Amino acid sequence: MEEIENILENKLVRPTAMRMLVYQYFMGQDAAVSLTHVENAFDKADRTTLYRTLKVFEEKGVVHQIDDGTGTKKYALCEPGCNCELEQDLHLHFHCARCNETVCLTEHKIPHINLPEGFVAEDANVVLKGLCDKCSEK
């Protein structure tokens, strides 16, 4: 818990009790989580607070947002040293059509893409869809 406090402070996020708990929750997840997920995990806390917590986390580079095509935004912890830079930090995501989970493929960075003249890319969202390792076994 001390550790979490340090991480948040390093990211210039004031380590309130709530924020530390949310961070801890993120650490226990291996799939990306939505606001609703967090909400269910913290019955007592208000939706808005959690919403803003996620927003602050995203702005300060604690988590990154993933748009997996389900219509619900998901979030996952950034890797240590991540700066959310295209081609350096940004990685692929995988959404499983069966279990509906979205996971980070942190080993798979986004390959360089030659864009047409005039296009300047600064961010990217890459989601592959199909069956994940757990679901394809069955």
Which residue number, 40 or 70, has a Cβ lying nearer to its own copies?
70
Among 9, 52, 85, 100, binds DNA (CB under 7 A): 52
10 Å Cβ neighbour count for 122? 6
Residue span 40-69 as binding mask against its own copies, x where in contact by CB under 8 A, dash where not:
---------------------------x-x
Q: Where are the beta strands (DSSP E) in 6-113?
A: 33-34, 63-67, 73-77, 91-96, 102-109
Binding partner of 131, given its own copies, DNA, none, CB within 5-8 angstroms per partner class = its own copies
Dihedral (C-alpha) 47, 75, 28, 6: value to the nearest 10 degrees?
-90
* Cβ atoms of 48 and 40 closer than 8 Å: no
Residue of 5, 7, 31, 49 interacting with DNA (CB under 7 A): 49
18 binds DNA (CB under 7 A): yes
Site of tokens 């996971």: 103
| SS3 state of residue 22 | helix
2 makes contact with its own copies (CB under 8 A): no
Residues contributing to the site for its own copies (CB under 8 A) = 67, 69, 71, 73, 92, 94, 97, 105, 107-108, 111, 113, 115-134, 136-137
